[in-house]
Amino acid sequence: MLLRTSRLAVLSGLAALALAAGLNAATPTRIKSTEEMNSRAGPTINPETAPGRPLFEQHCAMCHLGGVPKAPSPNFLAMLAPDAIVSALTNGVMRQQAASLTPAEKIQVAEYLTKTPYASYQRPAPPPRCKGAAAKFDMTDIPADIGWGHDNRRFIPANIAGLAKADVPKLKLKWAFAYPAATHIRSQPTVAWGTLFVGSQDGTIYAFDPDTGCTKWTTRLSAEVRTAIVADAATKRLTFGDLLGKVHVLDALTGKEIWASRMSDHADATITGTPTLGGGLLYVPVSSLEVVQAGNPAYPCCTFRGSVVAVDPATGAEKWRAYTAGQPVPQGKTADGTPILGPSGAPVWNSPTYDAATNRVYFGSGENYSTPADDGSDAVFAVDATTGKRIWSTQLTLGDAWNVGCMMGLGSCPKEGGPDYDVAASPLLIDTGAGAKMLVIGQKSGQAWGLDPETGKVRWMTRLGHGGTQGGVHFGMSAEGSRVFVPINDMADTGDARLYDPAIRGAGLHALDAKTGNVIWQAKAKDNCEGRKFCDPGISAAVTSIPGVVFGGHLDGMLRAYDADTGAVLWQYDTTQPMPALGGQTAKGGSMSGPGAAVWKGKVFVNSGYGMYSHAPGNALMVFEVAK
């Protein structure tokens, strides 16, 4: 099923300049390098002059620039911790290839890739280990099937949340943790068996005591923990995905790894959406950062295809794979003479939604990375949960092929030129009464959609913002009953020379009726950035609801609790302020994006810091509870 959607909310190039003059708006900017989108904390190294550059080119480039499948590209290696790279070269998977390098040269390679002086990378002492009763797991606190990985509606019932609406204004910071050497945190906290589980940028998974912040165990893996930690009550296991596209399964009580498996052979594959448990299988969404590679006009773009992979949760053995985009084949050359391969892309950024009643899995896709745009991009899919066979697909935006070359005005930009309207958030399957259901979709176009889950037919569409490259719905909606809470990002300047109509900017939180798409209320966010770099008022992070309350973290670092009935702000906290943290450290948040809040027994757990893609860095895990 194909559906054409409007692009009138966004203009680029000369049209944008003309409209800017007419609206008396600021002229949109265009980045010259992807490095302009990164916000770093601490000293950096110039990769052009770094002594590790010729070492990488001589010893590593042949494999990591596409010569060997599964060898992570420099885009991924740049996001690893420096000591993780040195460890891999010394004692890990790359020790044989790096055997001829001296210890100093291995450090130089790590510095070149991460742009971080090794001497400045200081890991503080770990949090204190729990003793006595705090070290024990509460086996009566059995995790419910809620949140990413189980139920994408992100609603926490009263018996688990333990937080009344009337008490929300009394929330105070209980304790904070400063993630070591972190600028962003993209792992959703999970509470199970009386323990707070969360991952970090350097690949460490923490099992915290929720009351004191001491740790029951910690386990460090090789790459950033990218998703929610999914707790399985039946097996007492934790499941999550990492930056390098691996799924990991750990013993929840010891932190010992049971199995790990990479979900794609593509060098740029990653896992952004949380793997979902259901029907005896684990459904893993596969996305990629090959879209960034096209920022190099000499890169032959592109060969990645988005997919959902079903694996055995006990072993990781693949059962089926459902692709989104077609098979890439040569499509000519760019004006620079670089080969074009397509169709490609259509990554799956979101956590799949499993429906036991119909034995179906629903998920959405992003844009194609290269010409030609096909019917697999910006689409919603329904597949058989047992076989992966496609039942239906509905494309919400036609002709969307886009990559980072478009931001920079390069010849690697596909002729379609975007508009980059991913279906980035998970589909929500909502009961609308009398046995009827609606599949509610949020899109980066700034639109929310209601689809018939049986056929994929569009029942309604509601525009909530102008959308764009960093606009519309990003990481996740929430629902209480038939009310759906839709966060809208809608950055005003996305660094790609596009101008967005401020009259329909929707940055903030919106409530819709799932049956009709009618707006119940809108709470647009005030812009308090006052010119601060990497500051925007919108909501990119997933939102979380409890009875009567919606928690939303904003890109300006404000964490707010909204009245679910009216949209009024009940409570707010500025996470960008310095906070005393465990071990005598100082935690400081930044932009809030990716994961949202977790609520358990009267406590609210949330991360702050997203130092990438033109957002502000931070390193804070915060725990709030009602002041006593």
Q: Determine contact, residues 511/519, Cβ cutoff 8 Å.
A: yes
- In terms of domains, do 522 and 622 share one? yes
The span from the CA of 400 to the CA of 413, in Å, is 12
- In terms of domains, do 601 and 526 share one? yes
> Is residue 288 a part of any domain in this protein?
no
Tell me which DSSP letter residue 151 carries: B
Q: What is the pLDDT of residue 394?
A: 98
Q: Put the strands of the sheet holding 603-608 in their side by side order.
A: 171-178, 620-626, 603-608, 598-600
Angle made by CA atoms 17, 18, 23, in degrees to the nearest 5: 95
pTM exceeds 0.75, yes or no? yes
Residue of higher predicted confidence among 112 and 536: 536
- In terms of domains, do 487 and 558 share one? yes
> Is residue 613 a part of any domain in this protein?
yes
The span from the CA of 173 to the CA of 94, in Å, is 43
Provide the pLDDT confidence category of residue 556 given band limits of 50, 70 and 90: very high
Q: How far is CA 244 from CA 73, 81, 279, 319, in A?
A: 10, 13, 26, 21
Provide the pLDDT confidence category of residue 5 given band limits of 50, 70 and 90: very low
* Mean pLDDT lowest among 116-130, 304-318, 322-336, 399-413: 116-130
What average pLDDT score do residues 319-330 get? Answer: 98
Q: Determine contact, residues 322/383, Cβ cutoff 8 Å.
A: yes
161 sits in which H/E element: helix 158-161
Q: Determine contact, residues 450/459, Cβ cutoff 8 Å.
A: yes
The span from the CA of 549 to the CA of 538, in Å, is 18
251 sits in which H/E element: strand 246-251
pLDDT 10s digits, 420-443: 999 999 999 999 999 999 999 999
Q: Determine contact, residues 255/218, Cβ cutoff 8 Å.
A: yes
577 three-state secondary structure: coil
Q: Determine contact, residues 618/588, Cβ cutoff 8 Å.
A: yes
pLDDT 10s digits, 384-412: 999 999 999 999 999 999 999 999 999 99
- In terms of domains, do 473 and 563 share one? yes
- In terms of domains, do 108 and 169 share one? no
Strand partners, 487: 509
Provide the pLDDT confidence category of residue 8 given band limits of 50, 70 and 90: very low
Q: Determine contact, residues 287/366, Cβ cutoff 8 Å.
A: yes
Tell me which DSSP letter residue 123 carries: P
The span from the CA of 169 to the CA of 562, in Å, is 10
> Is residue 390 a part of any domain in this protein?
no
Q: Determine contact, residues 476/469, Cβ cutoff 8 Å.
A: no
85 three-state secondary structure: helix
Closest CA to 289 of 489, 79, 435: 79
The DSSP line for 447-486 is: EEEEE-TTT--EEEEEE-S---TT-S--S--EEETTEEEE
Tokens of 295: 């920022």
Tokens of 86: 């040195």
The span from the CA of 371 to the CA of 400, in Å, is 9
The span from the CA of 338 to the CA of 523, in Å, is 46
pLDDT 10s digits, 9-52: 555 554 544 555 455 556 788 878 777 667 666 778 888 898 98
Which residue, 89, 116, 143, sits at the end of a domain?
116
The span from the CA of 447 to the CA of 458, in Å, is 13
The span from the CA of 345 to the CA of 330, in Å, is 15
Give the helix ranges, DSSP H, for 362-408. Answer: 404-407
Q: What is the pLDDT of residue 538?
A: 98
Length, in residues, of the chain: 628
Tell me the residue range of the domain where 86 lies: 44-116
Which CATH number does the domain housing residue 173 bear?
A: 2.40.128.630
Closest CA to 462 of 441, 477, 481: 441
The span from the CA of 595 to the CA of 593, in Å, is 6
The span from the CA of 11 to the CA of 380, in Å, is 25
Closest CA to 64 of 262, 224, 267: 267
Domain count, the chain: 2
Which residue, 64, 98, 116, sits at the end of a domain?
116
- In terms of domains, do 456 and 514 share one? yes
> Is residue 165 a part of any domain in this protein?
yes
Which residue, 86, 116, 146, sits at the end of a domain?
116
> Is residue 99 a part of any domain in this protein?
yes
The span from the CA of 158 to the CA of 599, in Å, is 10
Tell me which DSSP letter residue 143 carries: P
pLDDT 10s digits, 516-529: 999 999 999 999 99
Provide the pLDDT confidence category of residue 4 given band limits of 50, 70 and 90: very low
The span from the CA of 549 to the CA of 166, in Å, is 10
For all residues of the chain together, what is the average pLDDT? 92
- In terms of domains, do 588 and 523 share one? yes
Q: What is the pLDDT of residue 124?
A: 66
Q: What is the pLDDT of residue 561?
A: 98
Q: Determine contact, residues 415/400, Cβ cutoff 8 Å.
A: no
> Is residue 627 a part of any domain in this protein?
yes
* Mean pLDDT lowest among 188-192, 193-197, 289-293, 621-625: 289-293
Angle made by CA atoms 521, 523, 527, in degrees to the nearest 5: 160
> Is residue 9 a part of any domain in this protein?
no
- In terms of domains, do 163 and 75 share one? no
- In terms of domains, do 64 and 170 share one? no
Residue that is written with structure tokens 């204004």 in the block: 169
- In terms of domains, do 456 and 550 share one? yes
- In terms of domains, do 448 and 514 share one? yes
Long-range own/partner contacts, residues 89-92 (CB < 8 A, 24 or more apart):
92/222
> Is residue 562 a part of any domain in this protein?
yes
- In terms of domains, do 433 and 529 share one? yes
